Amino acid sequence: MMKQPQHHGTRFAGVGLSLVLTLLLMLPSDAPARAPDPKKVVGPTECAECHKDETEAWKKTRHYKTFKELPRNKKAREIGKAMGLRRVRSEGLCLTCHFSSKEEEGGKPKPIAGITCESCHSPAKDWINRHSEYSGKKKETETPAEAKQRMLDAEAAGMIRPKMTYALTKNCYDCHIVPEEKLVNQGGHPAGSPFELVRWSQGEIRHNTWHNSGAENRPLSQERLRLFYAVGVAVELENSLRALSTATEKGRFAVTMAKRIQIARLRARRLARATKDPDLIALARAASGARLSLGEVKSLAGVADLVAKAAKAFAEKHDGSKLAAIDRFLPKSDEHKGDTRIPGS
Ligand code: HEC
Ligand code: HEC
Ligand code: HEC
Ligand code: HEC
């Protein structure tokens, strides 16, 4: 399946200026978010001031524990050694996925925690006050219009809100499909987990305790589960295509990514057939044309862009109510990864 690198120098020589500009403009938004910007990180202790239950749930996760445990992990030292690194906690490469750093004014970035609130909801310096301040009033006196505007302002300042399904999902896959060829082939790092969004978000990660004041850690609604499942498959496909597009040698990295693509596009085809949704049909069709070989950098990245566009459109269009056809694909609750925290425990 994998082929030797080919060279396409001439094929792309005539690319127009507008395409080049488009590619340049796309860079910032398409670059993986991964570690939150240290200059904008406030740290999980700040969030805990108000979000006690969500913080308690987070403290039971691997995301929290990795901060203390990774530097003592034997496998981590082996990977570090194979990569020529000395201390995993202060190395940029490991930091980008395993830890969050904070940069105090005038100081150097310092690792402060594992994968935190801000790894998923985005670094908060520019939005933390805005989202929580009830527009300078009290909860009871803020009007619904003011509340709506407040949260729109927080979004504009970068906050990733629970309803932003595509952005939330993209975050998970940017870390969980490890897009680093050298780290995998030379370092012996896993090329990514057998990640599936519903299974992996509804176990230990779940912290839906805020909008009911900690009474219950409620499961996602059936509608949102459908959306999570389908967007998860789409982003799996997008990110594994992007990863394969960067591969330079026939090794574990390229082979694993090619396998991931094959499985994800089969799932995407099934979803498209079951739902007859035009965006899912478009992304399944785009992916089925992808040639899974080395040296296909631009064409694979191009397919990934098409998949991303359709995935975003799909996530924005649906609230899940019209997607009952997805129910039969959903994993059962006993397949969820890790134990869900019950409030009070
Ligand atoms: C001073 C208290 C306070 C602090 C500190 C705080 N929050 Fe909040 N948070 C709130 C309030 C109040 C709301 C509810 C806003 C609403 O629904 O109108 C909220 C809502 C949220 C939501 C849900 C938004 C939605 O769209 O439903 C998320 C996610 C969130 N906060 C994340 C964080 C994170 C991450 C931090 C730390 C970086 C943080 N918060 C710090 C008070 C706070
Ligand atoms: C692109 C993101 C990413 C980078 C960069 C990264 N990791 Fe990981 N790492 C992960 C994820 C996600 C997992 C979870 C397990 C999995 O994917 O199978 C993980 C798991 C691990 C594990 C547990 C593996 C096992 O076999 O149990 C170790 C050890 C580890 N990483 C060490 C490192 C070290 C050391 C570095 C830096 C040299 C590093 N990682 C860089 C994402 C990353
Ligand atoms: C691994 C990614 C991740 C991390 C880490 C994370 N969240 Fe979330 N957060 C999510 C997801 C996913 C949802 C649910 C989305 C949905 O309901 O569709 C969510 C929902 C929320 C909500 C709304 C809950 C409700 O009852 O509706 C709040 C508030 C929140 N998170 C705050 C936090 C805080 C505070 C932290 C850190 C202590 C944190 N989150 C850590 C991904 C994350
Ligand atoms: C900044 C990178 C990053 C992001 C974003 C991220 N993860 Fe992780 N996640 C990791 C790493 C690294 C590990 C492994 C930590 C360890 O075991 O030391 C992990 C572990 C996990 C585990 C535990 C796996 C196990 O083997 O027990 C679950 C579940 C999980 N992540 C789900 C999610 C979900 C769901 C999202 C998105 C809502 C998400 N993660 C976002 C990096 C990330």
pLDDT of residue 9: 34
Say how far apart CA 99 and CA 85 lie, in whole Å. Answer: 16
Say how far apart CA 291 and CA 266 lie, in whole Å. Answer: 15
**8 Å CB contact between 133 and 51:** no
User: What are 42-88's pLDDT values in tens digits?
Assistant: 999 999 999 999 999 999 999 999 999 988 899 998 999 999 887 76
**8 Å CB contact between 53 and 210:** yes
145's CB contacts (< 8 A; 6+ apart) are: none
User: What are 252-266's pLDDT values in tens digits?
Assistant: 999 999 999 999 999
- As a whole-number percent, the residues of the chain with pLDDT over 90 amount to 75
Closest CA to 183 of 276, 99, 251: 251
Does the pLDDT value for residue 25 go beyond 50?
Answer: no
**8 Å CB contact between 191 and 257:** yes
Label residue 183 by pLDDT band (50, 70, 90). Answer: very high
What is the sign, positive or negative, of the torsion defined by CA atoms of 338, 339, 343, 345? negative
User: What are 291-331's pLDDT values in tens digits?
Assistant: 998 888 889 999 999 999 999 999 999 999 999 999 999 99
Higher pLDDT, 105 or 205: 205
Q: Is ligand 4 within 6 A of the CB of residue 121?
A: no
- As a whole-number percent, the residues of the chain with pLDDT over 70 amount to 89
Total residue length of the chain: 345
pLDDT of residue 2: 40
Say how far apart CA 113 and CA 55 lie, in whole Å. Answer: 13
Say how far apart CA 312 and CA 279 lie, in whole Å. Answer: 9
Say how far apart CA 247 and CA 70 lie, in whole Å. Answer: 27
Rg (C-alpha) for the chain, rounded Å, is: 21
Q: Is 221 left (phi over 0), alpha (psi -120 to 50) or beta?
A: beta
**8 Å CB contact between 271 and 280:** yes
Say how far apart CA 261 and CA 193 lie, in whole Å. Answer: 14
- Which residue's CA lies nearest to atom 14 of ligand 3? 162
Q: Is ligand 2 within 6 A of the CB of residue 98?
A: yes
Q: Is ligand 3 within 6 A of the CB of residue 227?
A: no
**8 Å CB contact between 264 and 272:** no
**8 Å CB contact between 243 and 294:** no
- 117, 128, 223, best to mutate for ligand 3 pocket (most atoms within 8 Å of CB): 117
> Which two three-digit tokens encode residue 317?
């269009």
> Which two three-digit tokens encode residue 36?
């939150």
**8 Å CB contact between 116 and 97:** no
Q: Is ligand 2 within 6 A of the CB of residue 75?
A: yes
Label residue 19 by pLDDT band (50, 70, 90). Answer: very low
Considering every ligand atom shown, identify the ligand nearest to the alpha carbon of residue 183 and give its number.
Answer: 2
> Which two three-digit tokens encode residue 48?
């805990």
Q: Which atom of ligand 1 is nearest to the CA of 117?
A: 35
Does the pLDDT value for residue 11 go beyond 70?
Answer: no
**8 Å CB contact between 43 and 113:** yes
**Hey, how many other C-beta atoms are within 10 angstroms of the C-beta on 314?**
24
pLDDT of residue 95: 87
The pocket around ligand 1, CB under 6 angstroms, is made up of 42, 46-47, 49-51, 117-118, 121, 124, 128, 131-132, 147, 151, 161-162
Closest CA to 274 of 263, 284, 264: 284
Closest CA to 124 of 207, 59, 38, 54: 38
Instruction: Please state, in angstroms and as integers, the Cα–Cα distance from residue 335 to each residue in 39, 63, 209, 245, following that order.
Output: 38, 19, 21, 32
pLDDT of residue 29: 34
| Mean per-residue pLDDT over the chain, rounded | 88
Higher pLDDT, 108 or 201: 201
Residue range 121-148: average pLDDT? Answer: 96
Residue range 217-246: average pLDDT? Answer: 97
pLDDT of residue 295: 82
**8 Å CB contact between 171 and 120:** yes
Closest CA to 197 of 225, 237, 164: 225
